[in-house]
């Protein structure tokens, strides 16, 4: 997180704070006259400011307010630092949705559902293209269409999924917490011990009971352990919700309870809950591969759509819609409809746009080209009780926006937590940042979709218009790209450093949080080449490992798919070895294949129930330095959770402007470049601006001595091929 290095001093913020408090107070005291009154005013201002800043009674509210202020200020500052302060003030504000909610609550719908229950329904795989759609004259979602039409309904038709690698569980997470789940592995497991302060906790503070409902095994996605930490008092799962054993419901190996039975049984709990309550219901029947039993498949399909993913999907969604209709009626019958705000959204897509058959079939159904943004577009419907409003909102919005939006409707004066979304009901424009399906840095706004290039070179990216899909030039979108990238990095920073605990619970300010987390990786003094054998047997290397304080090793896993199993074992051995020997750092040579195998460093491969394995992976990964030979791999390794990476930059693969472009946007720990090229262009010095170390490699067996390399701006030398060599 290089940008966090650039923050201003604590005192800048103090001055800012004093100024704000002082000015506001003086405005209130406009009517006072005379020197005595003036003096009194000044004394009171200072006392008030000191009271808030010192917080002598350790009020958690004051601590938290202070931190929010510090946090907003310094992160904004950090971001400006990273980009050389090129953003205008207005833009910087946008980056930090955190701290902005209080300025976004002036609107006609503020508190429109104050004190009401909140019933939030996350519908499995529901895409927005199903809304208001018909298939051969058959309306696919009649109940949802009816709900959208009703008085009191707000419909968001450009709402998008925002996930990490936890799929359904990430959709739950970002909706409730307003920042993204992890891309490395699923947040519910990886960050189980973090402190969270999302919607359930916030509503509990308002006197709400909280409950979550899902008709499947409570251990799946580690829900059983994470839900209490997210603030849910009760988790109603398949221990209570009895499956009606309809074969195929839920799809694949997930054969849970049908949505119909789920709603019928959940209402029994809802009826008995003290009000107001927040109930979060997660459906299941429309899960991939969408195989419903025949009697529940009510859409008559054309021959060519029979037994296809698309055909099965529309049947599943139609069934899910019927069950939602049933649930809305149950709520009415039980007197809950009128005193609850009901919100409903799809968790993620069901029809992969990347599958060419599906793409063609869906495009034909839609009558236009099915693109990634259509795939990621999920509906959000919010129904307010006793309201005559009926409106469709078409600004670009993401699941991270739900928390501030619903808080506004429920009449919350402030959001005393960290969040990255905005209140959609007062926002002038929308901005959705993504990290899955569209790579980090990609975004969707009200007019365009920007897809960051997989090789990390901005000029290779693509952008197209939301309305007609036509391609547009990417040049104007660099600032927005940076914004999107930073929002993803901020989410990651929150998770990796348990920032909410530190800021909101322990009362640390941003300086303290950052100084506790940033640790610079030292340049390896000498690197020993290690083999699989070294990791297992008592070799010479092992003796060195035992006697030296710090040892760096260079390892090269086999990337031959034929020897795939061997490579997996190698990675597992490496993790255990490094877990056991904390003084070892490893540089791994990785190519395309080997990097795919890196998935085997993930928790689920180590055994998700084994906490030691999870801890081992987390700890070891900070001492692993991938050595990469292409830009594409950089993003991939970053997604695997590596902090430090060496990228070798070959002039025959990339042009110098491309290399510079890449390094402007990405900040690898070290780069390695051809010494001869660098000599001509003074490149080592240029590249050093964006990476800690610049190593050299020679293509013509040229030997440079230490001094000559230093003069060229190099920190060391890697002889080509890297596999056989030693940086020093
Ligand atoms: C299982 C369900 C499925 O409980 O939430 O999750 P998904 O496979 O869609 O991520
Ligand atoms: Mn899902």
Give SS3 for 10. Answer: helix
With a cut of 80, say whether residue 566 has pLDDT above it: no
One domain for residues 128 and 252: yes
Whether the Cβ atoms of residue 611 and residue 647 lie closer than 8 Å to each other: no
The whole-model pTM stands at: 0.80
Domain boundary among 510, 542, 570: 510
Residue nearest to atom 8 of ligand 1 (CA): 168
What separation in Å is there between the alpha carbon of 220 and the centre of ligand 2? 12
CA distances from 577 to 72, 534, 545, 586, 635 (A): 41, 10, 11, 11, 26
**107 in a structural domain:** no
- Within 8 A by CB and 6+ apart from 492, the residues are 1, 180, 182, 183
Which atom number of ligand 1 is nearest to the Cα of residue 284? 2
Give SS3 for 402. Answer: helix
Helices (H) and strands (E) in the chain, counts: 28, 24
One domain for residues 215 and 305: yes
One domain for residues 503 and 552: no
Q: Hey, which residues does 280 pair with through a beta bridge?
A: 120, 212
Split at pLDDT 50, 70, 90, the class of 597 is: low
pLDDT of residue 703: 59
* Separation of alpha carbons 652 and 364, rounded Å: 43
Q: Hey, which residues does 279 pair with through a beta bridge?
A: 119, 211
Instruction: Point out the least confidently predicted range of 80-89, 221-230, 256-265, 382-391.
Output: 80-89
The residue to mutate among 170, 173, 258, 284, having the most atoms of ligand 1 within 8 angstroms of its beta carbon, is 284
Which atom number of ligand 1 is nearest to the Cα of residue 169? 10
pLDDT of residue 516: 73
With a cut of 90, say whether residue 349 has pLDDT above it: yes
With a cut of 60, say whether residue 490 has pLDDT above it: yes
Whether the Cβ atoms of residue 525 and residue 585 lie closer than 8 Å to each other: no
Which atom number of ligand 1 is nearest to the Cα of residue 168? 10
What separation in Å is there between the alpha carbon of 650 and the centre of ligand 2? 42
pLDDT of residue 246: 79
Q: Hey, which residues does 647 pair with through a beta bridge?
A: 628, 671
The residue to mutate among 122, 123, 124, having the most atoms of ligand 1 within 8 angstroms of its beta carbon, is 124
CATH code, domain carrying 584: 3.20.20.70
**486 in a structural domain:** yes
- Sign of the dihedral through C-alpha 579, 581, 582, 585: negative
What separation in Å is there between the alpha carbon of 366 and the centre of ligand 1? 27
Higher pLDDT, 686 or 25: 686
What separation in Å is there between the alpha carbon of 287 and the centre of ligand 2? 6
The residue to mutate among 241, 254, 345, having the most atoms of ligand 1 within 8 angstroms of its beta carbon, is 254
Catalytic residues: 168
Residue nearest to atom 9 of ligand 1 (CA): 168
pLDDT of residue 11: 27
pLDDT of residue 18: 32
Split at pLDDT 50, 70, 90, the class of 561 is: low
Higher pLDDT, 605 or 152: 152
With a cut of 80, say whether residue 603 has pLDDT above it: no
* Separation of alpha carbons 424 and 319, rounded Å: 30
> What is the DSSP track for 36-98?
HHHHHHHHHHHHHHHHHHH-TT--HHHHHHHHHHHHHHHHHHHHHHHTTS-S-HHHHHHH--T
Split at pLDDT 50, 70, 90, the class of 77 is: very low
One domain for residues 614 and 705: yes
Per-residue pLDDT tens over the stretch 694-727 = 877 654 445 567 777 788 888 876 643 333 443 4
**607 in a structural domain:** yes
pLDDT of residue 693: 82
One domain for residues 628 and 680: yes
**98 in a structural domain:** no
What separation in Å is there between the alpha carbon of 161 and the centre of ligand 2? 11
**328 in a structural domain:** yes
In the 8-state DSSP scheme, what is residue 395? S
Domain boundary among 483, 510, 537: 510
pLDDT of residue 57: 33
* Separation of alpha carbons 571 and 575, rounded Å: 6
The residue to mutate among 181, 220, 239, 253, having the most atoms of ligand 1 within 8 angstroms of its beta carbon, is 220
Per-residue pLDDT tens over the stretch 186-201 = 999 999 999 999 999 9
Ramachandran angles phi, psi of 57, nearest 5° = -90, 10
CA distances from 468 to 367, 373, 397, 465, 512 (A): 12, 12, 19, 6, 48
One domain for residues 338 and 461: yes
pLDDT of residue 125: 97
Q: Is 408 exposed, middle or buried (0-12, 13-18, 19+ CB in 10 A)?
A: buried
Which atom number of ligand 1 is nearest to the Cα of residue 167? 10
Query: Which bound ligand lies closest to the C-alpha atom of 126?
Result: 2
With a cut of 50, say whether residue 402 has pLDDT above it: yes
Q: How many domains does the chain have?
A: 3
**99 in a structural domain:** no
The closest of 162, 585, 502 to 349, measured between CA atoms, is 162
One domain for residues 438 and 323: yes
In the 8-state DSSP scheme, what is residue 623? T
**611 in a structural domain:** yes
Split at pLDDT 50, 70, 90, the class of 275 is: very high
Over range 319-348, report the average pLDDT: 98
Ramachandran angles phi, psi of 341, nearest 5° = -95, 130
Give SS3 for 489. Answer: helix
With a cut of 50, say whether residue 145 has pLDDT above it: yes
Residue nearest to atom 5 of ligand 1 (CA): 168
Taking the chain, what is the end-to-end CA distance rounded to the nearest angstrom?
26
Per-residue pLDDT tens over the stretch 428-447 = 999 999 999 999 999 999 99
With a cut of 50, say whether residue 37 has pLDDT above it: no
Query: Which bound ligand lies closest to the C-alpha atom of 125?
Result: 2
CATH code, domain carrying 470: 3.40.720.10
Split at pLDDT 50, 70, 90, the class of 252 is: low
Query: Which bound ligand lies closest to the C-alpha atom of 345?
Result: 2
pLDDT of residue 598: 67
Q: What is the largest CA-CA distance in the chain?
A: 90
With a cut of 60, say whether residue 463 has pLDDT above it: yes
The closest of 451, 457, 455 to 439, measured between CA atoms, is 451
- Sign of the dihedral through C-alpha 606, 610, 616, 617: positive
Instruction: Point out the least confidently predicted range of 180-184, 201-205, 281-285, 701-705.
Output: 701-705
pLDDT of residue 473: 98
Q: Of all residues in the chain, what percent carry a pLDDT higher than 70?
A: 77
Show contacts of 42-47: CB within 8 Å, 24+ apart.
Answer: 45/21
CA distances from 150 to 145, 317, 538, 727 (A): 9, 21, 74, 68
pLDDT of residue 3: 30
With a cut of 80, say whether residue 172 has pLDDT above it: yes
Domain that holds residue 50: 3-92
Which atom number of ligand 1 is nearest to the Cα of residue 348? 9
Over range 657-674, report the average pLDDT: 82
- Within 8 A by CB and 6+ apart from 278, the residues are 117, 118, 120, 199, 200, 203, 208, 209, 210, 211
One domain for residues 173 and 311: yes
Split at pLDDT 50, 70, 90, the class of 70 is: very low
One domain for residues 78 and 17: yes
Split at pLDDT 50, 70, 90, the class of 373 is: very high
Distance of CA 149 to the CA centre of its chain: 33
* Separation of alpha carbons 162 and 650, rounded Å: 35
Residue nearest to atom 3 of ligand 1 (CA): 168
Residue nearest to atom 6 of ligand 1 (CA): 168
* Separation of alpha carbons 44 and 135, rounded Å: 69
Split at pLDDT 50, 70, 90, the class of 656 is: confident
* Separation of alpha carbons 636 and 456, rounded Å: 10
Whether the Cβ atoms of residue 460 and residue 452 lie closer than 8 Å to each other: no
pLDDT of residue 564: 63
Split at pLDDT 50, 70, 90, the class of 30 is: very low
One domain for residues 471 and 565: no
What separation in Å is there between the alpha carbon of 613 and the centre of ligand 2? 26
Domain boundary among 482, 510, 538: 510
The DSSP element (H or E) to which 109 belongs, if any, is none
**538 in a structural domain:** yes
The DSSP element (H or E) to which 16 belongs, if any, is helix 10-28
pLDDT of residue 98: 61
Give SS3 for 372. Answer: helix
In the 8-state DSSP scheme, what is residue 504? I
CA atoms within 13 A on the CB side of 221: 21
Higher pLDDT, 483 or 26: 483
The DSSP element (H or E) to which 322 belongs, if any, is helix 309-333
Split at pLDDT 50, 70, 90, the class of 2 is: very low
Split at pLDDT 50, 70, 90, the class of 253 is: low
Query: Which bound ligand lies closest to the C-alpha atom of 213?
Result: 1
What separation in Å is there between the alpha carbon of 314 and the centre of ligand 2? 16
Higher pLDDT, 379 or 566: 379
Dihedral, 332, 394, 166, 579 alpha carbons, nearest 10: -140
Query: Which bound ligand lies closest to the C-alpha atom of 378?
Result: 2
One domain for residues 692 and 629: yes
Split at pLDDT 50, 70, 90, the class of 521 is: confident
* Separation of alpha carbons 319 and 123, rounded Å: 12
For ligand 1, residues with CB inside 6 Å are: 167-168, 214, 216, 220, 254, 284, 287
One domain for residues 502 and 538: no
With a cut of 70, say whether residue 68 has pLDDT above it: no
Whether the Cβ atoms of residue 705 and residue 711 lie closer than 8 Å to each other: no
With a cut of 60, say whether residue 357 has pLDDT above it: yes
What separation in Å is there between the alpha carbon of 285 and the centre of ligand 2? 10
Which atom number of ligand 1 is nearest to the Cα of residue 287? 9
């Amino acid at each position: 997180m290089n940008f966090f290095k650039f923050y201003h001093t604590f005192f800048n913020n103090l001055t800012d704070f004093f100024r704000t408090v002082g000015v506001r107070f003086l405005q209130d005291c406009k009517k006072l006259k005379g020197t005595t009154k003036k003096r009194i005013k000044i004394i009171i201002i200072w006392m008030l400011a000191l009271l808030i800043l010192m917080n002598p009674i350790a009020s958690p509210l004051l601590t938290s307010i202070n931190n929010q202020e510090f946090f907003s200020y310094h992160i904004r500052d950090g971001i400006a630092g990273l980009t050389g302060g090129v953003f205008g003030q207005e833009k910087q504000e946008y980056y930090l949705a955190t701290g902005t909610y209080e300025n976004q609550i002036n609107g006609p719908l503020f508190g429109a559902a104050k004190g009401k229950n909140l019933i939030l329904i996350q519908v499995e795989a529901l895409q927005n293209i199903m809304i208001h759609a018909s298939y051969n004259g058959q309306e696919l979602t009649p109940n949802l269409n009816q709900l959208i039409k009703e008085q009191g309904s707000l419909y968001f038709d450009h709402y998008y999924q925002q996930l990490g690698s936890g799929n359904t569980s990430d959709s739950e997470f970002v909706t409730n917490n307003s920042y993204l789940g992890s891309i490395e592995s699923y947040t519910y497991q990886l960050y189980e011990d973090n402190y969270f302060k999302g919607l359930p906790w916030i509503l509990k503070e308002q006197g709400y009971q909280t409950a979550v409902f899902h008709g499947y095994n409570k251990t799946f996605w580690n829900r059983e352990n994470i839900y209490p930490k997210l603030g849910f008092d009760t988790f109603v799962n398949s221990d209570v919700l009895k499956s009606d054993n309809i074969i195929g419901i839920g799809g694949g190996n997930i054969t849970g309870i049908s949505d119909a039975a789920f709603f019928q049984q959940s209402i029994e709990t809802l009826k008995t809950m003290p009000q107001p309550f927040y109930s979060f219901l997660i459906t299941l029947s429309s899960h991939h591969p969408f195989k419903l039993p025949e009697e529940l498949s009510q859409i008559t399909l054309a021959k060519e759509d029979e037994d296809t993913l698309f055909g099965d999907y529309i049947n599943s969604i139609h069934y899910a819609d019927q069950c939602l209709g049933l649930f809305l009626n149950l709520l009415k019958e039980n007197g809950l409809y009128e005193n609850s705000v009901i919100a409903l959204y799809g968790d993620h897509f069901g029809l992969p746009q990347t599958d060419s058959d599906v793409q063609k079939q869906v495009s034909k159904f839609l009558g236009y080209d099915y693109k990634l943004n259509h795939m990621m577009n999920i509906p959000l419907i919010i129904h307010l009780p006793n309201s005559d409003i009926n409106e469709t909102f078409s600004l670009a919005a993401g699941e991270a926006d739900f928390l501030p939006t619903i808080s506004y409707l429920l009449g919350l004066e402030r959001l005393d937590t960290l969040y990255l979304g905005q209140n959609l009901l007062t926002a002038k424009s929308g901005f959705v940042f993504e990290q899955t399906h569209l790579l980090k840095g990609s975004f969707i706004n009200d007019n365009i979709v920007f897809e960051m290039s997989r090789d990390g070179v901005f000029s290779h990216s693509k952008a197209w218009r939301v309305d007609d899909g036509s391609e547009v030039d990417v040049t104007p979108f660099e600032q927005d790209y940076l914004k999107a990238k930073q929002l993803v990095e901020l989410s990651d920073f929150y998770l990796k450093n348990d920032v909410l605990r530190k800021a909101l619970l322990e009362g640390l300010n941003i300086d303290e949080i950052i100084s506790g987390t940033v640790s610079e990786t030292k340049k390896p003094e000498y690197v020993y080449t290690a083999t699989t054998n070294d990791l297992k047997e008592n070799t010479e290397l092992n003796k060195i490992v035992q006697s030296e304080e710090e040892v760096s090793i260079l390892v090269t896993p086999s990337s031959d798919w034929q020897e795939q199993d061997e490579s997996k074992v190698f990675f597992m051995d490496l993790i255990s070895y490094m877990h056991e020997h904390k003084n070892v750092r490893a540089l791994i040579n990785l190519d395309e294949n080997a990097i795919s195998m890196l998935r085997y460093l993930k928790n689920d491969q180590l055994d998700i129930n084994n906490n030691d394995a999870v801890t081992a992976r987390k700890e070891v990964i900070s001492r692993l330095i991938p050595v990469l030979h292409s830009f594409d791999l950089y993003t991939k390794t970053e997604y695997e959770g590596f902090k430090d990476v060496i990228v070798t930059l070959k002039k025959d693969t990339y042009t110098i402007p491309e290399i510079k472009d890449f390094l402007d946007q990405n900040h690898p720990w070290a780069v390695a470049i051809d010494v001869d090229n660098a000599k001509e262009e003074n490149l080592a010095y240029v590249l050093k601006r964006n990476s800690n170390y610049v190593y050299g490699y020679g293509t013509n067996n040229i030997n440079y001595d230490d001094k000559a390399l230093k003069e060229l701006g190099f920190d060391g030398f890697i002889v080509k091929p890297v596999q056989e060599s030693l940086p020093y």
